[in-house]
Amino acid sequence: MDFRDRVFLAVAENLSFSKAAEELFISQPAVTKHIKELESKLKSTLFDRKGNRIYLTKAGKVNYEYLKKIKQQYAELEFELGRLNNTFKGSLRIGASSTISQYLIPETLAAFYKRYPKIDLHLLSGNSHEIQQKLLSEEIDIALIEGSSSLKELKYSEFLDDEIVVVTGNNSVYAKKRQIAIADLENIPMVLRERGSGTLEVIRKSLGENNINLEDLNIVIHLGSTEAIKNFLINFEGVALVSEKSISKEIELKQIVKLSVNRLKIDRKFRIALRQGTPSYTAQLFINYLSNYNF
């Protein structure tokens, strides 16, 4: 792929000459020069400039769609040649929901990199809704998500079991009880993940099956990450619902206490999401590796 094409893709994906320059480690005037040369070659204006912002023209959009496909074909060619020589090459953009990106996937990625060091890895984190949207917009190649909601444009498969558990800070009054009734959840002060998170979706569904409406709970605050929730519990006289896989260190250090709740067990699956159609070679390689990984 011509370097001018790479410059165009960087500008088109960032909608910024300065960000493209940073990404490619070249000067902004150099970016401008390459875009002007490409526009001259194609005899088309590729970007509209309105104030401090730029937009793709119709010609720019067409060029972008074709160059994206060409870039993918180059990646597949490089990967296939690597496979022939047993030196797998390519790139893989992974999006993972917060719990997965923090507590599960880093170790797996390190092991995958050790096995395939010439595959360029990128990890993007967000809640399950955000990650699925990035997959749809082709910002990532594969999504690892929580929750059970599905989009018809995507296909899903399960790769790991998880459980949402009720926890409290070691110094709270509830830590001494060790066990509460499911009805108590409607009154105890509670901190939960933010709306849009797969964890909250699973909690809502499970509580609904026990005739408890999420909106009727005494929710003090919604926080954007499990780490924030764990820190909040230190001085909080209440409980939280989090992934069991996220609290092993705190349980061992006796900073957090896991509570037993009669008649409540919140199981869920971590899932792989892909766009419809055949996944890229690197995505399929990672899926195979993930399916056989010993978590």
CATH of 3-70, one of 3.30.70.250, 1.10.10.10, 3.60.20.10, 3.40.605.10: 1.10.10.10
| pLDDT on residue 87 | 67
| pLDDT on residue 59 | 95
CATH of 82-160+270-291, one of 3.30.420.40, 3.40.190.10, 1.10.10.10, 3.90.1150.10: 3.40.190.10
Residue 169's H or E segment, with its range, is strand 154-169
CA distance 270 to 169: 26
Question: What pLDDT digit, counting tens, does each position of 133-169 carry?
Answer: 999 998 999 999 987 788 989 999 999 999 999 999 9
Query: Is the full-model pTM beyond 0.85?
Result: no
CATH 1.10.10.10 domain locations along the chain: 3-70
CA distance 233 to 190: 10
Residue 125's H or E segment, with its range, is strand 119-126
CATH topology assigned to domain 163-267: D-Maltodextrin-Binding Protein; domain 2 (3.40.190)
CA distance 139 to 161: 27
Smallest CA-to-CA distance from 185 within 237, 112, 252, 261 is with 261
| pLDDT on residue 239 | 96
Burial label for 213, CB within 10 Å (0-12, 13-18, 19+), is exposed
Is the Cα torsion angle 52, 56, 60, 66 positive or negative in sign?
positive
CATH 3.40.190.10 domain locations along the chain: 82-160+270-291, 163-267
CA distance 108 to 97: 15
Residue ranges of the chain with pLDDT lower than 50? none
